Amino acid sequence: MNALGSQIANLWGQLLDLLSKIVNPDWGALVNLLPVFLVGPVILGLLALAGGWVVYTVRRPRARVRVAEGPRPALLDEAGAALFPDGEPFCPRDALVYPPGAARCDACHEELAVRCPMCGLERPSSIVTCGNCGLVLRVEPRVRLLQPTGPPPGGAAAA
């Protein structure tokens, strides 16, 4: 037999080997794989559930609710002095920064200050226009309490 013939015989032998594996499956190995077959659908089911949940969450009609924003502590520099962002009301006494539209400190009830983003001059936050450079702060008063801004969902309005 020449080299090519022996190679073909070799391939044929491998093919038969492969066929025998397919025809006579290794049941032991399959049993070992059984958890995969069982776990697979469970994972798929969980994925489907998660996908459905995501779709539901995205599509769910949402009551547009503005969350009441409270003050946040001001950032401190290396020396421990409060850093107040320009254009946002703040209480220098309590080192609290308030959302736009806030006028008084919740903690000390003092009038809040605001620093002009243009010229850096401080003024009471209730004054919208800078007396120095004339910059008008665009104040967006936030709703302080939970209050739906759209039509109540499903007509089930809270009394």
- Annotate each residue in 33-72 with x if it binds Zn ion (CB under 5 A) or - if it does not, as one string: ----------------------------------------
Smallest separation (angstroms) from Zn ion to the CB of 137: 9
Query: How far is the C-alpha of 103 from the C-alpha of 125, rounded, in Å?
Result: 6
Query: How far is the C-alpha of 138 from the C-alpha of 151, rounded, in Å?
Result: 27
Stretch 93-152 residues interacting with Zn ion (CB under 5 A): 93-94, 105, 107-108, 116, 118-119, 121, 130, 132-133, 135
Cα dihedral 59, 61, 63, 68 in deg (nearest 10): 0
Smallest separation (angstroms) from Zn ion to the CB of 105: 3
Smallest separation (angstroms) from Zn ion to the CB of 99: 15
91 binds Zn ion (CB under 5 A): yes
Check if the beta carbon of residue 88 is closer than 8 Å to that of residue 98.
Answer: yes
Query: How far is the C-alpha of 115 from the C-alpha of 134, rounded, in Å?
Result: 13
How many residues touch Zn ion (CB under 5 A)? 14
Q: Output 83 or 119, the one with its CB closest to Zn ion.
A: 119
Smallest separation (angstroms) from Zn ion to the CB of 64: 31
Q: Spell out where the chain has E strands.
A: 72-73, 75-76, 82-83, 90-91, 96-97, 113-115, 122-124
Smallest separation (angstroms) from Zn ion to the CB of 109: 7
Q: Output 30 or 127, the one with its CB closest to Zn ion.
A: 127
Q: Is 107 left (phi over 0), alpha (psi -120 to 50) or beta?
A: alpha
Q: Is 155 left (phi over 0), alpha (psi -120 to 50) or beta?
A: left
Q: Output 63 or 135, the one with its CB closest to Zn ion.
A: 135
Judged by the rule CB under 5 A, the positions of this chain that interact with Zn ion are 91, 93-94, 105, 107-108, 116, 118-119, 121, 130, 132-133, 135
